[in-house]
Amino acid sequence: MFTGIISHLGKVVSIERNGFSFSAGPSFFKNIKKGSSVAVNGVCLTTIGRPSHDSFKVEVMPETLKRTMLGDLKKGDLVNLELALSANGRFEGHIVQGHVDGKAMAVNIDKEENSFIFKFRVDKSLTSYLVNKGSVCINGISLTVIEAKNDFFTVGIIPYTWNNTMMSQLKVGDKVNIEVDILAKYVERIMKNEL
């Protein structure tokens, strides 16, 4: 389980047919080993090795590439990284599984005083799980929904998040990974069973 609080920025080092290598700062590797779970842009992946002292390698299956934007990554791209939450860790974001529900596209980015307001177009099958002031995970970042409509939603990015995640690299037209709040999905399932 993750919380959507990004601990490190990484960079794509290499892209292979069924996997990636990512670099990260030295502090990232203090608690990582072969078999560790790592969220890369919000996708829960398993580390399978360390090609160098400052990089780690993961494998991906075709389903992951279809459902996420990992297949759009290029060598040198920045990615958000988060290690799995330890039992004694601080729970500061919201429940994030690293199981991406789909992709959204940035359709507008506006500067508003010290923040940036992002508007994302998303498939209508996911907007039913989004509510104003609810939680959403974008590329692994726990964020609060400002406005949720039929086929889009908006979020605000504060300066700290702008400076410490890959959000500052996003442009209009870019795709991101979306994980909706798992609690909303459970509520929907319970309600359907009750009806």
Instruction: Report pLDDT digits (tens) over 58-78.
Output: 999 999 999 999 999 999 999
Characterise 13 by phi-psi region: left (phi > 0), alpha (psi -120 to 50), beta (else): alpha
User: Do residues 56 and 139 share a domain?
Assistant: no
**% of the chain surpassing 90 pLDDT:** 73
Give residue 186's pLDDT.
Answer: 76
CATH code of residue 64: 2.40.30.20
pLDDT band at 43 (very low <50, low <70, confident <90, very high): very high
User: Do residues 118 and 178 share a domain?
Assistant: yes
Judge whether 128 lies within some domain. Answer: yes
Amino acid type, 94: H
Region 39-50: mean pLDDT is 96
User: Do residues 153 and 188 share a domain?
Assistant: yes
User: Do residues 57 and 136 share a domain?
Assistant: no
Are 180 and 148 in contact by the 8 Å Cβ rule? The answer is no
- Given 83, 115, 131, the domain boundary residue is 83
Which residue has tokens 């290598």?
21
Sequence-distant (6+) residues with CB within 8 A of 159 are: 114, 115
- The model's pTM is 0.91
pLDDT at 88 over 80: no
- Given 50, 83, 116, the domain boundary residue is 83
User: Do residues 116 and 76 share a domain?
Assistant: no
Are 145 and 135 in contact by the 8 Å Cβ rule? The answer is yes
Judge whether 25 lies within some domain. Answer: yes
Residues spanned by the domain of 70: 8-83
Amino acid type, 192: K
Region 104-132: mean pLDDT is 95
b/e map 121-157, b = 16+ CB within 10 Å:
bbeeebbebbeeebbbbbbbbbbebeebeeebbbbeb
Which residue has tokens 């990992």?
70
User: Do residues 78 and 14 share a domain?
Assistant: yes
